[in-house]
């Protein structure tokens, strides 16, 4: 049974702020770090319950607010396979986070135990980590009190990236098994990535130095470790690595800054040479955006869509070269935010599916393909190889040295890619491998297709829940009549496309527009925003 008195006395120390409603959304719980204490304590309990439900297998908890400002923080649960928390549990987490009194906390736990049919006598194991935010240590101790309350055997993974935490969860749960994901430590993660990368680039010409903007976050120490391990196989220059100065995290740098402002981080202005490759990580190193300056000094961004195009085409090519065409089908998953030009480029080459925003939607859709490439335009994404595909690769008998090489490359890619979640460092190595094979610079990669100019604006509305969408968020069904008006506007612009959706992480409605010319994309966005407001 529950240790009711123990839970109550621990819960006493973590009271819920009266005036706040919490919600486990697409990014877990996320808000100002200063109001998250009670949420952390209760997430500790939920994590324990989830592990018990999963027969004592290890679940993960990541404390981070990713690309958001430094005073924010958040928390997300990771299921035993290293993937996002199962959807039905999001509402349990929300319910427990909003229980007002201690008695209500107990009652809510009891009701979750009953609804989810949890056997409390099962063991509970949780591995947890945090990013570099100053509010992290206190929030982690609240989390640990939650573990104590429900009887969790905790494993502290310290300060690390979100993708490392996902890796650890999967590695711990597959330890000693045939499908072992790797050694269950941060070193295990780095050597898995590093070894696969070195194998893939052996014999290739040396790469020119790559600049990594670490967003002054947890990606900095991680990239540093990776860089040491890679040595000459990939020369790396680290920038924005300050994880101690206050308020510099994600500030004027990082993947979200670059994607949203479509600008070079000012701190790189005198460092990036024309033609040189650079990339930005976000605050927890699960998003990646590349960029370069052309000979005239103009900034060019290579976002998640460009990464998907580069990587998907490369995998299709390897599958063909390995003699596996027809046996392994590669597909791509995007969201409505994917640039229309990328969708066109990809659709002409392989199956493309559009799903609603949020990693869980992309991940699940990608699982349906033999090899599923998914990327959000914001730079979050990965590649999934199905179990059957893994076996096909292991058993295939190549008929020529060329087939054999392509097969080896495909197998190394399955090791290089973090298949649990989007991973900036793993994705970066993947991009570097493809650029090396293709002998592409950023310029050649960029010319695969030309992005349509686009604009994203947010609109504060009275009630964002009044906005309901269909067709993977590409069309509004309510408020009534609004969709027709949007389409009326859209049709007046060459290559015009626009959609409106409620944000899952902020109390706003987002408006996206693209068109053949920048000024038209801006105009369309603002006119649609005018309809919404
Ligand atoms: C979160 C999601 C990201 C999504 C974004 C949309 C994860 C790990 N991250 O950051 O995939 O693009 O939310 O935010 O799920 P929005 O709903 O506010 O536009
Ligand atoms: Zn992130």
Residue 168 falls inside a structural domain: no
Does one domain contain both 144 and 193?
no
Looking at 408, 436, 451, the residue that finishes a domain is 451
- What CATH number corresponds to the domain at position 467? 3.30.310.50
Which ligand lies nearest the alpha carbon of 376?
1
Residue 98 falls inside a structural domain: yes
Residue 308 falls inside a structural domain: yes
Best residue among 162, 355, 359, 376 to mutate for probing ligand 1's pocket (most ligand atoms within 8 Å of CB) is 359
Does one domain contain both 44 and 155?
yes
- State residue 250's pLDDT score: 98
The alpha carbon of 267 and the centre of ligand 2 are apart by a number of angstroms equal to: 21
| Residue 408 belongs to domain spanning | 182-451
The answer to whether the annotation marks 284 as part of a ligand binding site is yes
Residue 216 falls inside a structural domain: yes
What SS3 state is found at 455?
strand
The C-alpha atoms of residue 459 and residue 461 are separated, in whole angstroms, by 6
Does one domain contain both 96 and 209?
no
Does one domain contain both 36 and 108?
yes
Does one domain contain both 373 and 473?
no
Does one domain contain both 272 and 206?
yes
Looking at 451, 473, 498, the residue that finishes a domain is 451
Closest CA to 168 of 127, 226, 217: 127
Which residue has the least CA distance to atom 3 on ligand 1? 358
Extended strands (E) in 377-460: 381-385, 454-459
The C-alpha atoms of residue 457 and residue 506 are separated, in whole angstroms, by 13
Report the domain count for the chain. 3
Which ligand lies nearest the alpha carbon of 333?
1
Does one domain contain both 520 and 372?
no
Looking at 432, 451, 470, the residue that finishes a domain is 451
Strands 454-459 and 381-385: unpaired
Does one domain contain both 192 and 88?
no
Which residue has the least CA distance to atom 10 on ligand 1? 27
Place of tokens 């973090």: 418
The answer to whether the annotation marks 377 as part of a ligand binding site is yes
Residue 224 falls inside a structural domain: yes
Does one domain contain both 267 and 320?
yes
Best residue among 68, 505, 506, 509 to mutate for probing ligand 1's pocket (most ligand atoms within 8 Å of CB) is 505
The alpha carbon of 26 and the centre of ligand 1 are apart by a number of angstroms equal to: 6
- State residue 506's pLDDT score: 86
Q: What is the pLDDT along the chain (533 residues), one digit of tens a residue?
A: 899 999 999 999 999 999 999 999 989 999 999 999 999 999 999 999 999 999 999 999 999 999 999 999 999 999 999 999 999 999 999 999 999 999 999 999 999 999 999 999 999 999 999 999 999 999 999 999 999 999 999 999 999 999 999 999 999 999 999 889 999 999 999 999 999 999 999 999 999 999 999 999 999 999 999 999 999 999 999 999 999 999 999 999 999 999 999 999 999 999 999 999 999 999 999 999 999 999 999 999 999 999 999 999 999 999 999 999 999 999 999 999 999 999 999 999 999 999 999 999 999 999 999 999 999 999 999 999 999 999 999 999 999 999 999 999 999 999 999 999 999 999 999 999 999 999 999 999 999 999 999 999 999 999 999 999 999 999 999 999 999 999 999 999 999 999 999 998 888 999 999 999 999 999 999 999 999 98
Residue 46 falls inside a structural domain: yes
Catalytic site residue 66? yes
Which ligand lies nearest the alpha carbon of 166?
1
pTM of the model: 0.97
CB-based contact 376:304 (threshold 8 Å): yes
> DSSP letter string over 342-357?
HHHHHHTTS-EEE--S
The alpha carbon of 194 and the centre of ligand 1 are apart by a number of angstroms equal to: 29
Does one domain contain both 473 and 513?
yes
- State residue 52's pLDDT score: 98
Residue 144 falls inside a structural domain: yes
The answer to whether the annotation marks 66 as part of a ligand binding site is yes
The alpha carbon of 286 and the centre of ligand 2 are apart by a number of angstroms equal to: 5
Best residue among 357, 420, 460 to mutate for probing ligand 1's pocket (most ligand atoms within 8 Å of CB) is 357
The interface predicted TM-score of the complex, written ipTM, equals: 0.97
Residue 496 falls inside a structural domain: yes
- What CATH number corresponds to the domain at position 24? 3.40.120.10
What SS3 state is found at 381?
strand
How crowded is residue 115: how many other Cβ atoms within 10 Å of its Cβ?
Answer: 12
The C-alpha atoms of residue 510 and residue 499 are separated, in whole angstroms, by 8
- State residue 142's pLDDT score: 98
Does one domain contain both 424 and 512?
no
What residues are in contact with ligand 1 under a 6 Å CB criterion? Answer: 26-27, 357-359, 376, 378, 380, 503-506, 510
Does one domain contain both 292 and 428?
yes
Which residue has the least CA distance to atom 19 on ligand 1? 503
Q: Spot the catalytic one: 11, 38, 51, 66.
A: 66
């Amino acid at each position: 049974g529950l240790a009711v008195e123990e839970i109550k006395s621990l819960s006493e120390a973590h009271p819920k702020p009266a005036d706040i409603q919490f919600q486990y959304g697409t990014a877990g719980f996320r808000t100002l770090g200063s109001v998250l204490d009670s949420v952390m304590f209760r997430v500790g309990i939920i994590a324990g319950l989830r592990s018990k439900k999963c027969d004592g297998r290890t679940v993960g908890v990541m404390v981070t607010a990713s690309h958001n400002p430094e005073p924010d923080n958040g928390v997300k649960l990771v299921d035993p396979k290293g993937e996002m928390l199962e959807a039905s549990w999001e509402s349990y987490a929300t319910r427990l986070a909003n229980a007002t009194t201690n008695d209500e906390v107990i009652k809510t736990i009891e009701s979750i135990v009953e609804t989810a049919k949890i056997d409390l006598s099962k063991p509970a194991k949780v591995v947890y980590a945090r990013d570099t935010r100053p509010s992290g240590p206190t929030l982690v101790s609240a989390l640990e009190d939650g573990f104590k309350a429900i009887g969790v055997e905790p494993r502290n993974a310290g300060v690390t990236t979100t993708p490392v935490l996902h890796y650890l969860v999967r590695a711990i749960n597959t330890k000693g098994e045939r499908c072992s994901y790797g050694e269950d430590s941060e070193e295990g993660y780095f050597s898995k990535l590093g070894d696969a990368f070195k194998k893939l680039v052996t014999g290739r010409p040396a790469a020119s130095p790559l600049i990594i903007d670490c967003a002054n976050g947890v990606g900095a120490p991680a990239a540093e470790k990776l860089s040491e391990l890679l040595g000459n196989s990939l020369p790396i220059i680290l920038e924005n690595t300050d994880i101690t100065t206050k308020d510099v995290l994600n500030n004027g740098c990082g993947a979200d800054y670059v994607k949203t402002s479509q600008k070079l981080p000012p701190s790189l202005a005198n460092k990036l040479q024309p033609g040189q490759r650079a990339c930005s990580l976000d605050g927890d190193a699960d998003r990646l955006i590349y960029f370069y300056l052309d000979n005239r000094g103009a900034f060019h961004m290579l976002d998640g869509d460009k990464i998907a195009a580069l990587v998907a085409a490369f995998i299709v090519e390897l599958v063909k070269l390995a003699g596996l065409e027809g046996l392994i089908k590669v597909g791509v998953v995007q969201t409505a935010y994917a640039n229309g030009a990328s969708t066109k480029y990809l659709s002409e080459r392989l199956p493309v599916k559009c799903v609603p925003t949020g990693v869980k939607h992309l991940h699940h859709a990608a699982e349906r393909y033999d090899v599923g490439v998914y990327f959000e335009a914001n730079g979050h994404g990965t590649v999934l190889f199905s179990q059957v595909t893994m076996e096909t690769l292991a058993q295939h008998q190549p008929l020529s040295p060329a087939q054999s090489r392509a097969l080896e490359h495909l197998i190394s890619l399955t090791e290089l890619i973090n298949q649990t979640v989007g991973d900036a460092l793993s994705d970066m190595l993947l991009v570097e491998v493809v650029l090396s094979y293709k002998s592409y610079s950023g310029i050649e990669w960029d010319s695969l297709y030309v992005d349509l100019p686009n604009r994203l604006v947010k609109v504060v509305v009275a009630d964002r829940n009044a906005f309901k969408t269909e067709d993977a968020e590409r069309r509004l069904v309510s408020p009534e009549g609004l969709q027709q008006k949007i389409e009326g506007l859209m049709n007046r612009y060459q290559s015009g496309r626009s959609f409106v959706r409620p944000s899952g992480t902020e109390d706003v409605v987002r408006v996206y527009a693209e068109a053949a010319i920048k000024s038209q994309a801006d105009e369309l966005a603002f006119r649609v925003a005018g309809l919404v407001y």
